[in-house]
Structure formats: structure tokens, C-alpha cells
Amino acid sequence: MIQTLIDKGNAYPMEGDVYYRVRSFHGYGKLSHRSLDDMRAGERIAVDDRKEDPMTLPSERRQSPANPHGTRRWGGGSPAGTSSAPR
């Protein structure tokens, strides 16, 4: 599934992690009744300057000492949304 997102241009790998391009999903924010333009990056955590867009979200995280259950090339790992590992 992660590879499909990458192949379609909806996600991109960066330093072993995979980031989801939220702007590629036109319905993003619909459930919360918020638009991307209304959201402010960096309000709760610092913006990672390496990301293409401040609103881009991590989808898969690599294995590391802080995240031992991280992904092994997009399979059998830790989806970023469920990982409690600090970045």
C-alpha cells in the first residue's frame, strides 16, 4: 500500500521514512471542517525543514532505537500515526 502511494505521487520517501502529501487528497480536513489553508504548521511541534511541505505527514517510520518496530521497507512495521517514538 505504501509503495502504491509513492508510485502515484501521493507520498515520498525521505531518509528511510515515508511522508504523505496531504495536498494530494482533496478531501483532507473535511471531517474536522478545516481546510489546509486554515491549519498552521508548527503550532504544536517544530516544522521539519527537510519536508516538501510543512503539512506533509509521516506515513511510515523506519526502525531505530527509539522505534524498534519501525518499518522494514514499507512492510511489517510501524505506521507513523500509531508510533509513540519521538522524532
Q: Which residues contact 55 (CB under 8 A, 6 or more apart)?
A: 22, 23, 36, 39, 41
pLDDT at 86 over 50: no
Of residues 70 and 31, more confidently modeled: 31
Asked whether 42 and 83 are in contact (CB, 8 A), the reply is: no
3-state secondary structure of 26: coil
Q: How far, in Å, CA of 56 to CA of 48, rounded?
A: 10
Higher pLDDT, 64 or 25: 25
pTM listed for this prediction:
0.67
Which ranges of 1-87 does DSSP label H, i.e. alpha helix? 2-7
Q: pLDDT category, 87, cuts 50, 70, 90?
A: very low
Q: What confidence tens digit (pLDDT) does each residue in 5-52 have?
A: 999 999 999 888 899 999 999 898 899 898 888 887 777 778 888 899
β strands within the chain, DSSP E: 11-14, 17-20, 57-61, 78-79
